[in-house]
Structure 1
């Protein structure tokens, strides 16, 4: 199959043999694709290498044979966002989620659009909320999303209650006699309804929302976690030692 001027976002690039690169990209019509870019070392190929950096929006010509495609040409469509600090870590996180959860070759046009929107928001003011929305929409696109307005028993979400997320069945209300630690790791009903309405929740609701969304992602990822989570944990430890304060995730 020939791909011609196929829009795509670069997710990850690594060396392939001596002079080539293996590029993972999220394309508009063909989902996640693996591209072999041959002979890209050397000064004459600098423009091509620049176009194959993570977060770059490109148009691709490639010949798809089996699981991998041979890259023929790639052209940058715009300038990739210059991400630093927590925004760069967040970008690494969404790319890693896509690499781990989206199989190659399955078309997901909604994911292509989702990535473009999230990419544009990574340097915004509410990074944690941007990531929660991305996780919500990623699960929905993969067929693992929830109705955020009702719990697993079909009962309307109570804004004042707390919920955990069952990866298969959705929100489950916590009983009032649950321990303090379990309640702290749960999300408020108010936060779940904010996800349903796509409105920014109260700042105090974001940590619980992060905990429950991660529990669902862990279920789908299996026993091997994400490198970005390890990096975040290390960054949090360093931040606490230097100056206490929140680290966005």
Structure 2
């Protein structure tokens, strides 16, 4: 069967590893084709035009051939789209964490254009916030949006087991294997029902990432352990490598 060609496809590189002395295998998140694996021939050579372009967390336009019989397709062209600089410092590690989440949770060849746009927006936020108050809410916002996009997050305005709407002032927690339930006395991370309701409402906003960012800002610390436990539950073993790296750095 003849090979067709994908051109001018918005994409980000999630991960790359050596295929030979001169080539790379790229795990790519593309807007219209989802997660795909691409062979970048000669990309490690000093003279390769791919070498300065194939960077994680940078918006790219890619072209590749599609052979139905091949699991890994061949990259034909790549160019930087511009728009923001490479995240640095804590923002860089945060971006790599988002990449690992996508690698662990996204199936191959499953288009997710809305999730792609949310990811692009999150990377732009990280690039503009090398450190500071925006990083944690941005991560929590993307985690929530990712989980909902993949059907892994229950509604946040009702108790999961009963479907009973949350009372505004009743504290609840999000549990990996049980969803949203009333909190026990003194339970860590408990939020009042009205906070969970605000988070749920943010999913339906036209600018969902910014709306979720605002909703997460005052409760990011409480959400962090609950969302990390839920994400690890769905990612399975081993522990997310970027999370382990951050824990190791914090222990130095």
Query: Hey, what does 1:231 align to over in structure 2?
Result: 245
Structure 2: unaligned runs, 5 residues or longer: 203-210
Shift of 1:51: 1.3
Structure 1 residues 206 and 191: alpha-carbon distance in aligned structure 2, compared to 1, 3 A threshold: farther
Of residues 160-169 and 9-18 in structure 1, the stretch that sits farther from structure 2 once superposed is 160-169
Deviations 1:128-156 (A, max 9, x none): 11111101111111122222111212222
Matched, 1:81 2:85: yes
Matched, 1:173 2:175: no
Matched, 1:97 2:105: no
State the distance in 1 between where 2:95 and 2:30 align. Answer: 17
Deviations 1:165-203 (A, max 9, x none): 244652111233xxx4xx124444344234224353586
Structure 1 residues 79 and 23: alpha-carbon distance in aligned structure 2, compared to 1, 3 A threshold: farther
Shift of 1:127: 1.0
State the distance in 1 between where 2:84 and 2:159 align. Answer: 40
Shift of 1:108: 0.9
Deviations 1:34-73 (A, max 9, x none): 110011233321x411211101211111112332110111
Tell whether the 8 Å contact from 2:57 to 2:87 is kept in structure 1 after alignment.
no
Q: TM-score, normalised by structure 2?
A: 0.83
Matched, 1:9 2:9: no
Counterpart among 99, 103, 107 of residue 111 in structure 2: 107
Matched, 1:39 2:48: no
Shift of 1:117: 0.8
Tell whether the 8 Å contact from 1:9 to 1:57 is kept in structure 2 after alignment.
yes
Shift of 1:204: 6.2
Tell whether the 8 Å contact from 1:55 to 1:81 is kept in structure 2 after alignment.
no
Q: TM-score, normalised by structure 1?
A: 0.84
SS of equivalent residue, structure 1 residue 35: strand
| RMSD between aligned residues | 2.1
Structure 1: unaligned runs, 5 residues or longer: 239-249
State the distance in 2 between where 1:37 and 1:202 align. Answer: 39
State the distance in 2 between where 1:204 and 1:107 align. Answer: 33
Of residues 165-174 and 59-68 in structure 1, the stretch that sits farther from structure 2 once superposed is 165-174
